[in-house]
Structure 1
Amino acid sequence: MRNTFVKSLTSEAQKNNKIILITNDLGFSVFEPFIQKFPRQFLNAGVSEQHMTGMAAGMAIEGFLPVLYSIIPFVTMRNFEQIRNDLCYQHLNVKIVGVGAGFSYGPYGHTHHSLEDIGILRTLPDMTILCPGDPFEVQATTHLMLHHDGPVYLRLGKSGEPNIHTKQPDMSIGHGILIQDGTELTVIATSTMLRTAAAVIERLNKIGRSTRFISMPCIKPLDMKLIMSSARKTKHIVTVEEHSIIGGL
C-alpha cells in the first residue's frame, strides 16, 4: 500500500506544485523518488507532530495542499488537538495519511498499534475518512483525497497487501464497492481486512453459500444506502475490520 501511495502522490505532484509532503523523520525508505523529483515539495518536520499539523494549517491558509504522513498513532492521536482546532474547525484543505493500520506494526507494541484512530477522527466535523483495502483502492483514494476540499484522513496498511480487485474499481467518496452479489449473507470489509474477508468469501463460495461481498473504503461519510439494501436483501451482515468495534465500521 505504501509504495502505491507514493507512486500515486508523485503522479499527482507532477500536475500540482502546491502539494507539499510533510513527514516527521520517517518514510525515507519509500519517499526517495518523491524527494528527488520534488525537493521543494517535501518537508521533514522532525519528531514534532503537533508542530507539523499547525504548520500544515498555515500552509493551507496560504493556498498550499499539505499532506501529513506518519505512523497512525503519531499522526492522529498525538496531534489530535491541532487536528480538531486548526484543521477541522477551520475546514482547511489538509490531508492526513497514516500508515500501519491495526496491528501492522505488531512487534513494536501498543504505542504503534492503531485500533482507535477511526473512532477518534470520525467525531470531528468535516473530516472525511478513507480506508483502502488493496493497491487499486489506494490509487483511487489518493486521487479522491487530493481532489476533495477539506480535511481527509487516509488510513494505510504496510504488510504488502495484495490486489483483491481484478481492475481499478469505480470509486467515489461516500460509496462502498459491491465485489460480489449474494442472497444469504453480506460481508462488509474495510482497510487491511479486505484480504482476510476475500479468503473467507472464497471458502463460502466453495461450499455453495450465496454471499454478498462489499468493500467499504470510505468510512465517513458511510454508504448507508448500500448497507440498508444489503440488510433487506440478505437479512444478515458481518463486518470485518482491524479496529475497535466501538467507533469503527
Structure 2
Amino acid sequence: MDTMRDRFAPVVSQLLDENPRLAVVLAEIGKDGFREAMRRHSDRVLNVGIREQLLIGAAAGLALTGLRPVVHTFASFLVERPFEQVKLDLGHQGAGAVLVSAAASFDWPAGGFTHMAPGDVALLDTLDGWTVHVPGHPDEAETLLRHAVAAGDDKVYVRLSVQANQQGRMTDGAHFVTVRTGRRGVVAAVGPVLDAVLAATEGLDVTVLYATTVRPFDAAGLRRATAMAGTDVVLVEPYLAGTSATAVSTALSDVPHRVLGLGVSRRELRRYGTIEEHQAAHGLDARSLRERIGGFVGTDRVPVRV
C-alpha cells in the first residue's frame, strides 16, 4: 500500500493543472515530488529553502493576492517552528492556506525529537478558525486534500502519517463515522489509530466512532452516539493525549459524563527506537488500549487478539 504522503504530490500536481488559483510552497522537504509540476507551473510552485518562517510568510503573501497556497513540510517545521507566522501572517491577516504536514507524532524516530510533533493539533487549537483533518488511510488523505483545496479561503491543516489503517473509509470532511455500535460507552478513534482501537474493543459492548476531521468537532455526532451508548467517552488520538477532551466536554456540557483521553504522553522518549515501540510506550498498541478502555468503561474483559 502506498502512503498518505505518496498521494500528496500527484494529487496536488493534478489540482495545479486544473485550478489556476492553486499554488504550492515548499521548504526543500518534498520538492522531488513536484519537479514536473514546477516545470509546468514555475510561477506557482515555489521552494523557499530551509526557511520555515518564510515558508508561512510567503504562503500568506500569495493568499493575500488571491491564490490558494498549499504548504508542505514536516509537522514540527510547519506548525511548531513558524508558529508566530501561522498566528500572525495567516490568522491575524485573515489569510487562508492549506498546511499539509508529514512525519506526524513519531513517524521518523531516527530523526529524533526535532522531527516529532505530538503537540501540533493542540497548538493550532490556541488559534481560531482552523479546520483540522487527520486521515487514517491514503484514500482518505486524497479525499481530504481535495476538500481542503476546495475550501474557499479557509485555514486548513491536513496531518499526514506513514501509520495507516488497512481499510479506507468514506469521509465527508466533517462528520464522525459509526464503525461499531454498543451500549456501554463510546470510543472515538482519530485517523490512523482506528485499527488498534477496533482490535482493542473486539467483544466489548461499546460504540466506536471514527474521526478524520477533528476541527470543527462533530459535537452533534457525539451526542447522538452517547444518547444510545451512554456518556462514558474514550478519546484515542494519534497526538497529544487529551487534545480533544475539552471539545467532548463542551459537546456534553448539559449531561453528566466522563472522558478518558488517550494519546501521546508529554514524556519525551530519548531512545528513539521504532514506530511500534513508540506506540507501545505511549499505550497506543491494541493490548494497552484494551486494558485502559476496558478499565474505564467497566466492560467485561475478553482477551484481545494482537
**After TM superposition, is the score higher than 0.5?**
yes
Q: TM-score range by the shorter chain?
A: 0.7 to 0.9
Runs in 1 of length 4+ with deviation above 6 angstroms? none
The 5-angstrom pairing of residues 1-249 of structure 1 reads 1-32=4-35, 34-35=37-38, 37-148=40-151, 149-159=153-163, 161-165=164-168, 169-173=170-174, 175-201=175-201, 204=202, 208-235=203-230, 236-248=232-244
**Cross-structure match for 2:260:** none
Equivalent residues of 1:157, 1:191 under 8 A apart: no
Provide the C-alpha distance between the structure 2 equivalents of 1:146 and 1:36, rounded to a whole number of angstroms: 21
Equivalent residues of 1:135, 1:162 under 8 A apart: no
**Distance verdict in 2 for CA 1:6–1:181, change over 3 Å:** farther
Work out which structure has the larger RCO, using CA pairs closer than 8 Å and 6 or more positions apart in sequence.
1
Equivalent residues of 2:235, 2:244 under 8 A apart: no
Equivalent residues of 1:184, 1:211 under 8 A apart: yes
Structure 2, gaps ≥5 residues long: 246-306
Provide the C-alpha distance between the structure 2 equivalents of 1:52 and 1:29, rounded to a whole number of angstroms: 17
Report the aligned-residue RMSD: 2.0
Provide the C-alpha distance between the structure 2 equivalents of 1:110 and 1:20, rounded to a whole number of angstroms: 30
**Distance verdict in 2 for CA 1:91–1:231, change over 3 Å:** same
Find the structure with the greater CA-based Rg: 2
TM-score, normalised to structure 1, is 0.87
Equivalent residues of 1:180, 1:214 under 8 A apart: yes
Look up the SS of the partner of 1:9 in the other structure.
helix
Structure 1, gaps ≥5 residues long: none
One-letter amino acid of the structure 2 residue matched with residue 156 of structure 1: L
Equivalent residues of 1:72, 1:100 under 8 A apart: yes
| Count of paired positions | 240
